[in-house]
């Protein structure tokens, strides 16, 4: 069977990239810049590969040495940082390597312990990884002030990282954040409330992730409709 000309291809886990693509297209942004924190695989279940194919460029943050090396090879137009994003003054932290494909690796000891207790996973090893602040990454690599997209998927550290983002200085148009809580599957109220307080509204998503849009983009849409 041939592919329908109306089909739209997604590389994200549950179509989150298509939601973001639509939100940005309404503002005339076809080749967005992006910061992908916890990028994991450079193509499979990746929230930003669709934009890479469209000509967008950005930064992939991936502390897993295997996937950082793979990403450097698979996406030579992007900058790959083999670090974690820190939320304190620490220069490095323990990185819990879980059994499996590396998708569940985490800097959160609680998350690692919950994975062992709830999902019967194993902690294969703990390694030290260098940390950078999210603001320092943006200042160093996005001279325009902020990437169009920020994607955060860091297994239990999403809220903490969002709490360190200075939305007055660095204001992405769209954020995709893992909001499903491991123990309950419920959407994290704390993340939703934090984003609302910063002027962002949930405009789409999936079971694990929520896509937030900067409310200021509504005026951009209105202007383009004139």
What distances in angstroms separate CA 171 from CA 96, 110, 133, 144, 195, one per listed residue? 30, 29, 15, 11, 12
Q: What string of pLDDT tens digits covers the 226 residues of the chain? A: 457 889 999 999 999 999 999 999 999 999 999 999 999 999 999 999 999 999 999 999 999 999 999 999 999 999 999 999 999 999 999 999 999 888 889 988 999 999 999 888 999 999 999 999 999 999 999 987 899 999 999 988 999 999 999 999 999 999 999 999 988 999 999 999 999 999 999 999 999 999 999 999 999 999 998 8
The CATH number for 218's domain is 3.40.50.150
State residue 222 phi and psi, 5-degree precision.
Answer: -60, -40
Residue 96 lies in a domain: no
**Which residues constitute the domain of residue 76?**
16-85+134-225
Domain count, the chain: 1
Pair 197, 164: CB distance under 8 Å = no
- Token couple for 77: 């137009």
pTM (two decimals): 0.92
Residues present in the chain in total: 226
Question: Which segments of 14-63 are extended strands (E)?
Answer: 34-37, 58-61
Residue 112 lies in a domain: no
CA dihedral 25, 208, 165, 50 (to 10 degrees): -30
Residue 95 lies in a domain: no
Residue 90 lies in a domain: no
């Amino acid at each position: 069977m041939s592919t329908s000309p109306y089909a739209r291809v997604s590389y994200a886990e549950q179509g989150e990239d298509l939601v973001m693509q639509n939100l940005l297209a309404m503002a005339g942004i076809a080749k967005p810049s992006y910061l992908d924190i916890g990028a994991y695989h450079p193509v499979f279940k990746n929230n930003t590969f669709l934009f890479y194919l469209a000509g967008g460029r950005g930064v992939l943050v991936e502390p897993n040495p295997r996937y950082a090396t793979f990403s450097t090879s698979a996406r030579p137009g992007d900058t790959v940082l083999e670090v974690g994003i820190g939320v304190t003054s620490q220069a490095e932290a323990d990185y819990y390597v879980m059994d499996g494909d590396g998708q569940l690796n985490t800097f959160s000891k609680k998350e690692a312990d919950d994975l062992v207790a709830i999902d019967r996973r194993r902690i294969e090893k703990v390694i030290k990884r260098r940390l950078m602040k999210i603001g320092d990454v943006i200042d160093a690599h996005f001279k325009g002030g902020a990437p169009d997209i920020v994607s955060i998927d860091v297994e239990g550290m999403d809220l903490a990282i969002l709490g360190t983002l200075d939305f007055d200085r660095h204001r992405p148009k769209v954020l995709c954040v893992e909001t499903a809580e491991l123990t309950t599957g419920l959407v994290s109220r704390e993340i939703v409330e934090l984003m609302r307080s910063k002027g962002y509204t949930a405009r789409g998503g999936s079971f694990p992730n929520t896509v937030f849009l900067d409310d200021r983009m509504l005026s951009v849409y209105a202007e383009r409709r004139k």
